[in-house]
Amino acid sequence: MTIAQLLLIGASVLPAVISGAAAGTDLRSLYVQEAEIEVDPAQLESYKAAVAEHIETATRVEPGVVALYAVSENDDPARVRVFEIYRDQDAYRSHLETIHFKTYKATVEKMVRSLKLIRTTPIAFGALPK
């Protein structure tokens, strides 16, 4: 999956994720990045469970987490992309200090073969009306 495809997915559902006044947030204030992750194929199912639990917790308890999406490539499921949107850079920094993020990192440490974080600049977000 390319960055453009991942951004399109994120952009298409973002307004459904953020509510009310937050939908009018200045895109320039958002902290948006993509994590490119290569997972050990033998541990892929364990990784999927760990990232799903982490995303569920982070989006439920952290007001600064706007959206988190994890996807894998069709042709190589061990190549995972996580699309991350935070209210601002401070929200991202706070996220890194949470117990659930630290637990996730410790859990997947030996599952992840490589990690690359790509900082991005939001251009436009949109979605179909509900």
pLDDT tens, position by position, 59-70: 999 999 999 999
Q: What is the CATH number for 95?
A: 3.30.70.100
DSSP tag of 110: T
Asked if 111 and 40 count as a contact pair (C-beta separation under 8 A), the reply is yes
Asked if 34 and 3 count as a contact pair (C-beta separation under 8 A), the reply is yes
Measured between alpha carbons, how far is 39 from 21 in angstroms, rounded to an integer? 37
pLDDT at 11 over 70: no
Per-residue pLDDT reduced to its tens digit, 39-61: 999 999 999 999 999 999 999 99
pLDDT at 21 over 50: no
**Residue 89 lies inside a defined structural domain of this protein:** yes
**Residue 127 lies inside a defined structural domain of this protein:** no
The number of beta carbons lying within 10 Å of the beta carbon of residue 129 is 5
**Residue 85 lies inside a defined structural domain of this protein:** yes
**Residue 125 lies inside a defined structural domain of this protein:** no
Measured between alpha carbons, how far is 65 from 58 in angstroms, rounded to an integer? 7
- Split into its structural domains, the chain has a count of 1
What is the DSSP pairing of strand 65-72 with strand 31-39? unpaired
The pLDDT value given to residue 23: 55
Confidence of residue 4 (pLDDT cuts 50, 70, 90): very low
80: helix, strand or coil: strand
Dig out the tokens for 70 from the structure. Answer: 């994890």
Measured between alpha carbons, how far is 99 from 116 in angstroms, rounded to an integer? 22
Per-residue pLDDT reduced to its tens digit, 108-130: 999 999 999 999 998 887 767 76
Name the residue range of residue 88's domain.
Answer: 3-17+28-120
Rg (CA), the chain: 14
**Residue 23 lies inside a defined structural domain of this protein:** no
pTM value is 0.80
